[in-house]
């Protein structure tokens, strides 16, 4: 059931105690859909934003071992030095960006905390934060909470949901301060290549923007290799690279993220971090350390290959059903268009759930440009995907006949 937690609570008077800011934040559209899905049985879900792999055993084992050895204390606020060292080395090897583990790397509680810290450290009241959409649902509310104003920039299927310099330029005002990037993209699967980045970097430079680059899906690209925005000439110092272990290493529940950037920004974030969470959990840090060993990286590559196989299957499936689907080159989402059915995203998703027993997330919850699309995670078994595609095919045929 959909409940407005503020008004349905028997202590109705509590609402007036809440800050206007907290009250102004809308619950996520995903939440509403989640409640709808939870009431049903025999649903195949393509709505899950996390890997279907359990964290590889040797990584879990490393955390168990850490516990056995009595590793139950705080670590240094910024994270264990050996983990920051390993992260620095890994980023250098994988994406050719180099950071000093001593003062340019901060281990956080998931990538989400890193984004929160960064926005709190950067935003002055009234600053405008530029957010290409459709995008992950947290950026805009966190911006609001930090006193900033979120400014969406629409991206389009015809551009494979890449950010275009013209669109960015058109959204800039004298108050623009930060650009939040998330490529490979949740929910579209879009990526940005080196050539795609160059004109963006130019606009960033000209307008003196700071960039928060959420690269949590960096490892999950299937054609061109991921190019970090921090690796674009001249961009390193104005970019905060945010990433973590959740997606590529199948470690969502561990809440292990990190941020890398200029020591002044990392320093300010560290201050907030030490007052709010102290440090990321130590056993999770030991697990992350294990994930970055050669054995852990091998597991990561194996999982990537498996996502790629399923990605091809799903994209081909949607196209055969007759739903337009741009080629998702990263993350683990396909973002087909359902415009041809004449339904809105919400209608399509709701009816697909009720009539086809398949759950997927309506695109409009991801902001501008999301309407008319459906986010389908292919991080689920081949058997389930095949069955889901069958059901979606039947549902769409029924719509077309009706």
Partner 1 sequence: MNELQLKVLELLKEDARRDADLIAAMLNEPVESVKQAIAYMEEEHIIVKYATVVNWSKVDDEKVTALIEVQITPERGRGFEGIAERIYLYPEVKSVYLMSGAYDLLVEIEGKNLKEVASFVSNKLSPIDKVLSTKTNFILKKYKQDGIIFEEHEGDHRLMISP
Q: DSSP of 231-285, one letter per residue?
A: GSTT-GGGEEEEEESTTTTT-GGG-EEEEE--HHHHHHHHHHHHHHT-S--HHHH
CB of 82 to partner 1, least distance (A): 29
- Indicate the residue among 99 and 249 with the shorter CB distance to partner 1: 249
CB of 50 to partner 1, least distance (A): 6
Per CB under 8 A, does 54 bind partner 1?
Answer: yes
373-402 in b/e burial notation, b at 16+ Cβ within 10 A?
bbbbbbbbeeebbeebbebbbebbeebeee
- Indicate the residue among 40 and 397 with the shorter CB distance to partner 1: 40
Q: What is residue 57's three-state secondary structure?
A: helix
Q: How far apart are CA 364 and CA 361, in angstroms?
A: 9
| E strand intervals along 48-191 | 105-109, 128-133, 149-154, 176-181
* Cis check: omega of the bond before 134, within 30 degrees of 0: yes
Per CB under 8 A, does 331 bind partner 1?
Answer: no
Which secondary structure element, helix H or strand E, spans residue 189, and what is its range?
none
- Binding to partner 1 (CB under 8 A) within 309-328 occurs at 309-310, 312-313, 316-317
Judged by CB under 8 A, the residue of 94, 98, 293, 386 near partner 1 is 386
- Binding to partner 1 (CB under 8 A) within 136-175 occurs at 136-138
Stretch that binds partner 1, among 35-43, 100-108, 153-161, 232-240 (CB under 8 A): 35-43
CB of 333 to partner 1, least distance (A): 11
What's the helix, strand, coil split of the chain in %, to 5? 50, 15, 40
Judged by CB under 8 A, the residue of 12, 28, 92, 400 near partner 1 is 28
Q: How far apart are CA 363 and CA 371, in angstroms?
A: 5
Stretch that binds partner 1, among 46-54, 117-125, 144-152, 237-245 (CB under 8 A): 46-54
- Indicate the residue among 361 and 392 with the shorter CB distance to partner 1: 361
Q: How far apart are CA 35 and CA 2, in angstroms?
A: 6
Stretch that binds partner 1, among 131-139, 145-153, 236-244, 290-298 (CB under 8 A): 131-139
- Indicate the residue among 21 and 382 with the shorter CB distance to partner 1: 382
Judged by CB under 8 A, the residue of 34, 65, 90, 156 near partner 1 is 34
Per CB under 8 A, does 25 bind partner 1?
Answer: no
Q: How far apart are CA 184 and CA 295, in angstroms?
A: 25
Closest CA to 321 of 400, 226, 231: 400
Binding residues vs partner 1 (CB under 8 A): 28, 30, 33-34, 37-38, 43, 45, 47-50, 52, 54, 136-138, 186, 309-310, 312-313, 316-317, 359, 361, 382-383, 386
């Amino acid at each position: 059931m959909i409940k407005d937690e503020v008004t349905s609570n028997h202590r109705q008077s509590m609402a007036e105690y809440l800050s206007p800011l907290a009250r102004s934040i809308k619950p996520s559209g995903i939440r509403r859909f989640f409640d709808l899905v939870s009431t049903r049985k025999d649903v195949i879900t393509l709505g899950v934003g996390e890997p279907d792999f359990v964290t590889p055993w040797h990584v879990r084992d490393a955390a168990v071992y850490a516990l056995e050895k009595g590793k139950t204390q705080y670590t240094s606020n910024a994270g264990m030095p050996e983990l920051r060292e390993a992260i620095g080395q890994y980023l250098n090897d994988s994406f050719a960006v180099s950071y000093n583990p001593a003062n340019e790397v901060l281990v956080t509680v998931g990538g989400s905390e890193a984004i929160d810290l960064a926005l709190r450290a950067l935003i002055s009241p009234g600053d405008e934060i530029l957010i290409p959409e459709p995008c992950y649902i947290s950026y805009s509310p966190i911006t609001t909470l930090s006193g900033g104003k979120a400014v969406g920039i629409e991206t389009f299927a015809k551009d494979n949901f890449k950010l275009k310099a013209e669109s960015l330029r058109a959204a800039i005002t004298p108050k623009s301060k930060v650009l939040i990037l998330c490529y490979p993209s949740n929910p579209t699967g879009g990526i940005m290549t080196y050539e795609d980045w160059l004109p963006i970097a130019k606009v960033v430079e000209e307008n003196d923007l700071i960039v928060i680059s959420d690269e949590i899906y960096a490892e999950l690209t299937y054609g061109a290799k991921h190019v970090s925005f921090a690796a674009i000439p001249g961009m390193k110092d104005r970019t905060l690279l945010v990433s973590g272990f959740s997606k590529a290493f199948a470690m969502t529940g561990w809440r292990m993220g990190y941020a890398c950037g200029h020591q002044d920004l990392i320093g300010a974030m560290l201050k907030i971090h030490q007052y709010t969470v102290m440090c990321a959990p130590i056993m999770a840090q030991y697990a992350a350390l294990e994930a970055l060993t050669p054995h852990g990286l091998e597991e990561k590559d194996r999982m990537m290959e498996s996502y790629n196989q399923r990605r091809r299957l799903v994209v081909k499936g949607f196209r055969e059903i007759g739903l337009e689907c741009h080629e998702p080159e990263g993350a683990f989402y396909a973002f087909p268009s359902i415009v041809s059915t004449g339904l809105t995203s919400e209608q399509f998703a709701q009816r697909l759930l009720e009539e086809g027993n398949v759950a997927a997330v309506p695109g409009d919850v991801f902001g501008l440009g999301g309407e008319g699309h459906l986010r389908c995670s292919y991080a689920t078994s081949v058997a389930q995907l095949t069955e889901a595609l069958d059901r979606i095919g039947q549902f769409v045929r029924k719509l077309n006949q009706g």
